[in-house]
Amino acid sequence: MTVSLDILAIVAALSIAVIFGTDMVGALVMRPAYAEIDDHALVQVAGRSHHWAGRRMPIPGITSVVATTATGAVAFATGHALAGTFAAIGLACLIAWLALFNRVSLPINKELIAATETGEIPPNLRDLQRRWDSIVVLRATLQGTALLGACLVLAIAGH
């Protein structure tokens, strides 16, 4: 396996792992925790979390897409078709994740961020949170599958 393919797959895996871990925490920890707190606390915690995530998470998110794309390109270019296929599957998962995030999660995030700035509780707060929660397991599954793809590139490309 080429050193560049190794490095790209490692960068892809590490950057995907950041988003995957975040979505897993959302699914396993924050979802039930948010269900048990009052509306004011939910707006403040969720809104502020989304505020900071919106500022910091694009770096690993963009890195994961770029590194996964490059991993697939290098794998195919160096004759590692199976590794390239796993990278392509991972990339498809990342693109699907982005579509879900932009269509469902991001508008909700923006509403909750705005609510923290005004101090008002949206009348549909629990509906917003249920909608956000409804796709977090799918989001984590897509990121986990992309992470598995990057790991499989590392496992098979050298053989």
Kindly report, residue by residue over 133-153, the tens digit of the pLDDT. Answer: 999 999 999 999 999 999 999
54-112 pLDDT tens trace: 999 999 999 999 999 999 999 999 999 999 999 999 999 999 999 999 999 999 999 99
DSSP state string for 46-110: HHHHHHHHHHHTHHHHHHHHHHHHHHHHHHHHTT-HHHHHHHHHHHHHHHHHHHHIIIIIHHHHH
Residue recorded with tokens 């705005």: 114
- CA 135 to chain centroid, in Å, comes to 12
- Provide the whole-model pTM: 0.94
